[in-house]
Structure 1
Amino acid sequence: MRERLRHRRRRSRSRDPHDRHRLRRGHGPRRAEGGHGLLHDRRRHAHHARVHPREGTAHPRRLGRVPELLPQSELEGITGFHNYPEFNLEHILEVGPDFILNGLGYETDLHDKLTPIAPTYTYDGFDGGDWRDKFVKLATDLGREDRAQAWLDDYAARAADVKAELDAQGISPVVADVSFWDGQISVGCYSISCLVFADLGLEISPLADGDGDGAPDGEGTTLSLEQIGELSGIDVIFNGMSEDGSDIITNEEALTSNPLWTALPAVANDRVYGYNYEMSYGSPSGQDGLLEIIAKALLG
């Protein structure tokens, strides 16, 4: 699982040559984490560097811009810089952060290179676990449990509202997160999408169960172009794409020219929806955003 996650992350680099190793130079945004950020706003006095692939990677044509899934007004004036293919430790030092949040814990020698620059909190954001567990632990360790709980409560309330509306309207499609890469289709729960699916009580395609234990997982199922017909049991497809939407799966020529793909119910009925793949790595902003995308797709 862990190696698969890292492999997926490496694959994402080819979509964005600047990769997700991104450091945000900022001033401790109050609400950087989906409206309940864990870092105080110290706009005039403090800098925080974040070595974290989940949030903060701009589209390559928009380098330096905060991704649209994040609260723009709260992050006004914050820019990013290249931190790939090598960690740009000199630039981190130049930024002069007061605190570094490092989500690349599997880079075992990185923590000791960062701590001389500033106090550093390190964890592995790619260990395959639920990102919310790490979020709560981080909040607890930083003495900001109330902010984490506030977001968890707000999210749970909104998810409950959406689920109630789906139930009231009798909307119960089979859903799946589907991606296309290197001539193959993948169905799985690498993204946070399955967390939201589950919160809404939606039926997730059994193709997302890669290890056969009856539960969706990050391994999922990989299909060749000849096996596309196996997706016929999926009513609604969600697909991670870049911020501008240009690489949504419905634009893939290898699929659009394949009659097996165009005959799929989800495709024929125009039930394929994209979401910003920056959401995939888990964050309050991403979870909130994807919940709204799924709600709009299913409820209109």
Structure 2
Amino acid sequence: MGKQRNHSSYHLRRWIKWCFLLVATIALISGCNFVSSQRNSPQKSVDSVASSAEFRTVHHVLGETKIPIHPQRILALSGTTDLDTLLALETPPMAAGVDPSYHTKNGFFPHFNGKTDGIQPIPTWPKPNLEQILQLKPDLILGQRNYVEPVYDRLSQIAPTFVYENAIGNPEWRVVFREIAAAIGQSAKGEQVLNDLEQRLSQLKEALSKQNHETEISVIFYWTENRYVYSIFGKRSFGGSLLEELELPRPSAQRFDALSQDVSLELTSYADGDIIFLLNYSEPEEVEKLIENPLWSQLKAVQNNRVYRVNNIHWYTPGVLAAHAVLDDVERYVLGRSGSSDGARSLER
């Protein structure tokens, strides 16, 4: 009986000792895990802060959007002012929208001067292909309101979408430039780019003043959709607003505060001036028909061989690069000295 008690007591002590070791082991493991979690928790907080800092909220004309601070795959959906702005900021997008009927024949706009190498053109006119955009995996989409608004909700599901007002017909187009520059975190660079443009405008204005230029500048566009009218550009046109800044006089019929006005071919006097910039889009053969019209030959600028055919794109669509192309035309054909653009040629008669 005594041996049985001793035997039971022995097993009881072993069992208590085993339980003690088990509890100690569990406590030790729990303590290590706690220390590990404490060491890792600050790192998790840092990672969380870093993750939230990769985006910032930007307001635009259709609301607000969380935009990557450093977007890597930008889509310039409109392929106009948005693409011009990105190229001027030396931040080319990975893709840009194009009108297939124009791009197939002409490529990107000529005033972009070879800055579009590596940019994928995607047909987005008359409406974008959302499936193609999804496959491109953009991390930021830029586009003008009148084009983007109908599909904004669906575009926003693909990527953060920043929408700007159409700058055409708005002399305050620089506001749009600044908005896009701010959206991609390039405000400082944007101001530098604008300052360079302002400096050139100032220098050109001074040069024109020294030559006492009272030359009236006519700006017309022959609308190929209707062979019986042409359009004269007013003060709110992009090219017209730049001529205003240069204080170059316009014919009295073109001093209206609007984008443009359609005029019948019989009213050729509305087109006349000391110099005519004849804007051409993509059908030069139709412009040839205009200048063969007998009424055309009555114009003073025609008789003095001062009609110059220039590209409609940069006179019509606002942007910094477009502005420099307009100034190239003014410098070449009004001052008579060479600019840097090759987009214009004289209409020799």
TM value normalised by structure 2: 0.64
Alignment of 1:115-134 (within 5 A): 115-125=156-166, 128-129=169-170, 130-134=172-176
RMSD: 3.0
Distance 1:204 1:248, change over 3 A: farther
Question: Does the residue aligned with 1:259 lie in a helix, a strand or coil?
Answer: coil
Question: Does the residue aligned with 1:275 lie in a helix, a strand or coil?
Answer: strand
Query: Partner letter of residue 238 of structure 1?
Result: F
Question: Does the residue aligned with 1:290 lie in a helix, a strand or coil?
Answer: helix
Alpha-carbon displacement from aligned partner over 1:269-288 (angstroms, at most 9, x marks no partner): 22222322221110111111
Alignment of 1:91-130 (within 5 A): 91-105=132-146, 107-125=148-166, 128-129=169-170, 130=172
- 2:116 paired residue number: 75
- 2:310 paired residue number: 275
Distance 1:293 1:71, change over 3 A: same
1:235 to partner: Cα distance:
1.1
Distance 1:80 1:141, change over 3 A: closer
Distance 1:97 1:247, change over 3 A: farther
Partners of 2:86 and 2:113 lie apart in 1 by 9
Query: Is 1:246 matched with 2:284?
Result: yes
- 1:152 paired residue number: 194
The answer to whether the 8 Å contact 2:216/2:250 transfers is yes
Distance 1:126 1:248, change over 3 A: farther
- 2:211 paired residue number: 169
Question: Does the residue aligned with 2:179 lie in a helix, a strand or coil?
Answer: helix
Partners of 1:132 and 1:241 lie apart in 2 by 25
- 1:186 paired residue number: 231
- 2:89 paired residue number: 36
- 2:334 paired residue number: 298
Aligned length: 253
Q: Gaps spanning 5+ residues in structure 2: where?
A: 1-75, 337-349
Distance 1:60 1:219, change over 3 A: same
Query: Partner letter of residue 223 of structure 1?
Result: V
Question: Does the residue aligned with 2:142 lie in a helix, a strand or coil?
Answer: strand
Partners of 1:246 and 1:191 lie apart in 2 by 22
1:115 to partner: Cα distance:
0.7
Question: Does the residue aligned with 2:166 lie in a helix, a strand or coil?
Answer: coil
Query: Is 1:199 matched with 2:245?
Result: yes
Query: Partner letter of residue 60 of structure 1?
Result: T
1:166 to partner: Cα distance:
1.5
Q: Percent of pairs identical after alignment? A: 24
- 2:130 paired residue number: 89
The answer to whether the 8 Å contact 2:275/2:307 transfers is yes
- 1:5 paired residue number: none
Higher relative contact order (CA closer than 8 Å, sequence separation 6+): 1
Question: Does the residue aligned with 1:217 lie in a helix, a strand or coil?
Answer: coil
- 1:4 paired residue number: none
The answer to whether the 8 Å contact 1:261/1:267 transfers is yes
Query: Is 1:284 matched with 2:320?
Result: yes
Query: Is 1:236 matched with 2:275?
Result: yes
TM value normalised by structure 1: 0.73
Alignment of 1:9-24 (within 5 A): none
Distance 1:23 1:88, change over 3 A: farther
The answer to whether the 8 Å contact 2:146/2:166 transfers is yes
1:264 to partner: Cα distance:
0.4
The answer to whether the 8 Å contact 1:111/1:120 transfers is yes
Query: Partner letter of residue 276 of structure 1?
Result: N
Partners of 1:154 and 1:282 lie apart in 2 by 16
Query: Partner letter of residue 243 of structure 2?
Result: F
Alpha-carbon displacement from aligned partner over 1:155-186 (angstroms, at most 9, x marks no partner): 11111111222121222211121122211122
Question: Does the residue aligned with 1:69 lie in a helix, a strand or coil?
Answer: helix
Say which is worse superposed, 286-295 or 142-151, in terms of deviation.
Answer: 142-151
Distance 1:81 1:61, change over 3 A: same
Query: Partner letter of residue 295 of structure 1?
Result: E
Distance 1:111 1:277, change over 3 A: same
Q: Gaps spanning 5+ residues in structure 1: where?
A: 1-20, 42-46, 211-215
Partners of 2:180 and 2:221 lie apart in 1 by 31
